[in-house]
Structure 1
């Protein structure tokens, strides 16, 4: 039997209000659930999915398209067949065969002679004569050769009295009374900071060749070398702060024994590099990521210089305090949209999804930059190209931004991407004003990458002194690589000449780009100590 419930107007409106309240609460819970699920999926992708942000060729990035980056300009490529029977140019194949060995490598000649009994003509018995040689070459590798350099300081005395004794002076050394020679120090430094070989592995490697050195001895030597090269680092910083374009970034480093801080605390390695003038890569240790640490690194920067960075707020304060032109990084802006697109199931992706048009439009900006790079355009030519072709693309991106900015949940991945783009927009569009200004901060991120690779192996710095020494030595290694100088040979030359440097000109002459023709005489490992003494 049906029951009839009679409601007053007030009761009816109360029920409607309660229904609306529950519906709003359900919508809020649903949005919160979706945001948490999106965040969980993002964490799972970060740990387990592929890290590449590469897209098809139409959206390829300037620095992510390996085929274009590695192919020399003007290299013919195979074209697609437009119609049946149409001939197209095929690829030019390299000549097959083994690549010849470097003619500058030293060569040890091993002659293979016929026995005397076989040097006779089989037809008439005449003795054979030499008419030439057939040459084949192998690459030989001499493992680490450990030896001891014995310094003998000769004493002189007067034969008539005991007051005239004199001793030849000790040679100047990078580390006074140090156990390792300059070439040994250079080997340890380059092995750790160029080849990412931790000190305990180096100690084990040297132990195979009778070089009985402890990890602590190597670590102490690294710290003292890092302190000794500080004058060179100071000069490099002076040159960097005088550059017209400076790029900056930072990454995490862990220091176990830092006074007043737990071993799990995060410290930072700040990276700076020049975008004009001599290539310089500088790293500096700081216990934090705040404005105080950053301000000291940029103190004295050239007025009116250009600063390229990501969206970290500290860089805004540095640019404002020093009157710098501040550029934004399109790679960072694009990365947020890549993450937002990755949160969408593949089956649902397409031009109708808001993240995809942004990625496509940003890809057009990079296509223009790639074309300018392929044609080797000078900054004076790149500027008009950007004004003519990049500015309309920026206008289309801005239209997309205004369309979606206030229609997406701010805390979602897409919302974060849109608000980052909106906050950085004045800095992001500034690159079209000058053809010499970069579109992103990828160069600085690439300079940090060797440190990140090394950090995976040695994990942390033991002390603050070790962290500072690592920053100095990474600076030298990466600056050498940027100047296309072999780091080991430069370090050997630097470590030998640095103890004798006294004036500013002496130190200036030791900068990497002034030692490009430096050669390091390396004695053959087969040379005995007696032979060396005989030459003296």
Structure 2
């Protein structure tokens, strides 16, 4: 027999009434425990629903919203101490903010550079029009000048190498080993016996790797110029030129490892016909930026793997600072005594931006707004330092005075906010990322050559990504 016990909103289906206690107070405890259990299940389900809604809003924001990560908060700056809670932001935003006076650039067309060559074209009136109605000759009193920017399209030419031969007339017809023909040696070329000059190779490789112009598009350009140069030939030339430049590559690597700071990053690349690998398998292009800050070295290294061993082999015996994102393949840097591992505030900010975009449209500003303002204040410190021309030691001291208090308050706020934030939510993931990466994120304070983020490496790899 099945008994149904009802208490409040809890329904108990009991197959054996003997399992129920006789004491009503004990029965009430069981029902209360079941209510708590059901409530926990409902809360867990609602939490999952909220997370799914949040992720769905983020997907919509990525597809249909603005791609820029520029923070558009109302208040320009938060105080360094006693940071407000989310409920206080609405009140704070109503306060009046004084905007300092600023100068504007004059609108209009910029003058053309003076160093460009100029060709003067005079547009004069006919000689018969230079006589006045009264019969007097007109006198030139001035002129009106306007400049137009012109360009000469690429010129394809053939360099004809001529090597004269010389022989002795007196020795002609005499069978003697001394009778010789002299000729100048063949000039050294990057690709021996090839038709490509150094200038043509530089043009093709620069268009491919700097301007993201694939070989098949260059093939069409050469066709318009009247030259039949197919993409397979250009690809072969690129590989041969790369082998010839290997000594230069070693010199660049040496210069890279001599600098005080290296920015590292990696991106995916798909190779269609790589021996022993499927065309759909991901490979990676690693980029390293470092050396002398006035003329930094950009070094690209292809590898089929994203393993941290790739970066470890490149940075072997390096001493200095290395700035990366939060990818775990760079964790080996934390164990090297002579390396200072720096994090990237741009990646930390991006996670808060995603959490902010996933908020409901009508939701009030909350924790994401506070976090983004903290990060914005850090960048304001850098902007002020750059405006004052601070470098090296001066920049470090300025950061210790102005950025360290912001970092200290931000960390306290993150630790406090993490106690009542769902770890699986976008905000929870952003807070967890910052706290896990905190030692790396604040390490830039002591490195005068570094910026708060790893954008130098990301900007360096962008041309490759565009032409990928």
- Check whether TM > 0.5: yes
Tell me the equivalent position of 1:289.
Answer: 306
Distance 1:121 1:34, change over 3 A: closer
Q: Secondary structure at the residue paired with 1:419?
A: helix
Q: 1:30 aligns with which of 30, 43, 46?
A: 46
Secondary structure at 1:251 match in 2 = strand
- Corresponding residue number in structure 1 for 2:381: 368
Larger Rg: 2
Tell me the distance in 2 between the aligned counterparts of 1:203 and 1:450.
Answer: 20
- 1:392 equivalent in alignment to 2:402: no
How many residue pairs get aligned? The number is 425
Q: How far apart, in 2, do the equivalents of 1:221 and 1:291 lie?
A: 32
Q: Distance in 2 between matches of 1:81 and 1:433?
A: 33
Tell me the residue number matched to 2:166. Answer: 156
Which residue is equivalent to 2:228?
212
Provide structure 1 residue ranges, at least 5 long, that are not aligned to the other structure: 62-79, 83-87, 456-536
Partner of 1:442: 455
2:149 counterpart residue number: 139
Write the deviation string for residues 51-72 of structure 1: whole angstroms up to 9, x where unpaired: 11101387889xxxxxxxxxxx
Distance in 2, Cα, partners of 1:99 & 1:158: 66
**CA drift at 1:296:** 1.3
Offset at residue 81 of structure 1 (A):
12
Q: Distance in 1 between matches of 2:406 and 2:235?
A: 53
Deviation at 1:250, TM superposition (A): 1.1
Question: Which aligned pairs between 1:285-434 and structure 2 lie closer than 5 A?
Answer: 285-302=302-319, 305-321=320-336, 323-350=338-365, 353-434=366-447
Q: Tell me: CA distance 1:430–1:322, structure 2 relative to 1, closer, same or farther (3 Å).
A: closer
Q: 1:238 to 1:125 in 2, by over 3 A?
A: same
Contact 1:298 1:318 in 2 (8 A): no
The whole-number CA distance in structure 2 between the counterparts of 1:153 and 1:4 is 109
Q: From the superposition, tell whether residues 58 and 272 of structure 1 become closer, same or farther in structure 2 (CA, over 3 Å).
A: farther
1:94 aligns with 2:111: no
CA shift, 1:124, in A, is 5.9
The CA deviation at 1:25 is 3.1
Conservation of the 8 A alpha-carbon contact between 2:255 and 2:291:
no
Q: Which residue is 1:176 aligned to?
A: 192
Deviation at 1:453, TM superposition (A): 2.0
Deviates more, 1:112-121 or 1:232-241: 112-121
Give TM-score scaled by structure 1 length. Answer: 0.71
Determine the C-alpha separation between the residues in 1 that align with 2:159 and 2:75.
58
Q: Is the 8 A contact 2:257 2:291 kept in 1?
A: no
Deviation at 1:120, TM superposition (A): 7.0
Contact 1:60 1:367 in 2 (8 A): no
Distance 2:328 2:54 in 1: 26
Q: Would you say the 8 A contact 2:71–2:372 is kept in 1?
A: no
2:4, 2:422 → 1: CA distance? Answer: 44
Superposed CA deviations along residues 220-262 of structure 1, whole A, max 9, x for unmatched, are: 1122222222222211110111111111111111111112211
- Are 1:175 and 1:225, in contact at CA under 8 Å, matched by a contact in 2? yes
Displacement, 1:289?
Answer: 0.8
Q: Indicate whether 1:279 and 2:291 are aligned.
A: no
**Where in structure 2 are the equivalents of 1:235-254 lying within 5 Å?**
235-254=251-270
Change (3 A) 1:4 1:246: closer
Asked if structure 1 preserves the Cα contact closer than 8 Å seen for 2:333 and 2:341, the reply is no
**Structure 2 CA distance for aligned equivalents of residues 18 and 404 of structure 1:** 31
Q: What secondary structure, in the 3-state scheme, does the structure 1 residue paired with 2:302 have?
A: strand
Task: Report the secondary structure of 1:250's partner residue.
Answer: strand
* Residues 60 and 172 of structure 1: CA distance in aligned 2, closer, same or farther (over 3 Å): farther
For 1:9, what is the secondary structure of its paired residue? coil
1:105 to 85, 99, 116: 116
Name the residue aligned to 1:487: none
Task: Kindly indicate whether structure 1 or structure 2 has the higher relative contact order, using CA contacts under 8 Å at least 6 residues apart.
Answer: 1
Q: Gapped runs of 5+ residues in structure 2?
A: 7-16, 78-95, 174-178
8 Å CA contact 1:245, 1:307 repeated in 2: yes
- State which of 29, 43, 58 in structure 2 corresponds to 1:42: 58
Q: Are the counterparts in 2 of residues 251 and 268 from structure 1 also a CA contact under 8 Å?
A: yes
Using the alignment, how far apart are the partners of 2:70 and 2:57 within structure 1? 20
Whether 2:21 is the aligned partner of 1:9: answer yes
Cα distance 1:404–1:453, how it changes in 2: closer, same or farther (>3 A)?
Answer: same
CA contact (8 A) 1:331 1:440 kept: yes
Contact 1:271 1:444 in 2 (8 A): yes
Deviation at 1:432, TM superposition (A): 2.5
Change (3 A) 1:134 1:420: closer
Distance 1:388 1:153, change over 3 A: same
| Contact kept? 2:352, 2:372, Cα under 8 Å | yes
Scaled by the length of structure 2, the TM-score of the pair is 0.80
Partner of 2:246: 230
Indicate the larger mover: 219-228 or 317-326: 317-326
Q: Deviation per CA, 1:76-132: give whole Å up to 9, x if none.
A: xxxx998xxxxx988566385x54433333344556677676677876688x99999
Q: Is the 8 A contact 1:247 1:307 kept in 2?
A: yes
